[in-house]
Amino acid sequence: MRKASLSRKTNETSVNLSLQLDGEGTSTIQTGIGFLDHMLTLFAKHGGINLDISCNGDLEVDQHHTVEDIGIVLGHTLREALGNKEGITRYANVMSPMDEALSSIALDISGRSYLVYNVEGLKEKVGTFDTELVLEFFQAFTSNAQVTLHINLLYGVNSHHIIESIFKGFGRVIRQGCSIDPNQKGIPSTKGSL
């Protein structure tokens, strides 16, 4: 089973996270930020990942530390669950519609951290959630998962729909990129390691 768990405690947050790749998409998410819980639940469901996250963060300051630190821990945990990456598909690319919004998400599980994030026109908040933190989440995730991720919004009007499109697509590229390719022998790289 490809799974991992990690706890991370700082003066700003305490995060406990466990995930299992190749799961049923079940999740228990308690971050203290309702909109983030919703997005991570969608990520787990569409990623086929069993995901448990609990976080106690300094939300009296703002949401930044909680969102960023969950991205950090999710990235570390995914990297650990993948092990040496032998037999994985590695690459994935999906178009992800959500009503009027359409995003393109592309992934390379490369061992190299890089984020391209072209998402314009979000309102400042969805409910109480600061939408600028979507970028912070993916920056933290890519840096710690050591993956290359391209997120491009093609169009959209409703900020909730746009972010939901991104998180559903994120789950789907993780599912595809992490899947085992029966025709792939060893590490999917001419270098012999990722």
Report the half-sphere exposure of 157 (CA within 13 A, side-chain side).
2
Under DSSP, is residue 36 helix (H, G, I), strand (E, B) or coil? helix
Q: What is the per-residue pLDDT for 192?
A: 81
Domains, the chain, ordered by start: 3-178 (3.30.230.40)
Q: What is the per-residue pLDDT for 107?
A: 98
Global pTM value: 0.96
Spacing of C-alpha 162 from chain mean position: 15
Q: How many other C-beta atoms are found inside a 10 Å radius of the C-beta of residue 139?
A: 19
Token couple for 75 = 């990235």
Compute the distance between CA of residue 122 and CA of residue 131 in angstroms, rounded to an integer.
7
The low-confidence residues of the chain, meaning pLDDT below 50, are: none
Q: Are 80 and 73 in contact (CB under 8 A)?
A: no
Q: What is the per-residue pLDDT for 1?
A: 85
In degrees and rounded to multiples of 5, residue 134 shows phi and psi of -60, -45
Compute the distance between CA of residue 104 and CA of residue 125 in angstroms, rounded to an integer.
22
Q: What is the per-residue pLDDT for 20?
A: 98
**Computed from CA positions of residues 158, 162, 165, 168, in that sequence, does the dihedral angle turn out positive or negative?**
negative
Q: Are 102 and 156 in contact (CB under 8 A)?
A: yes
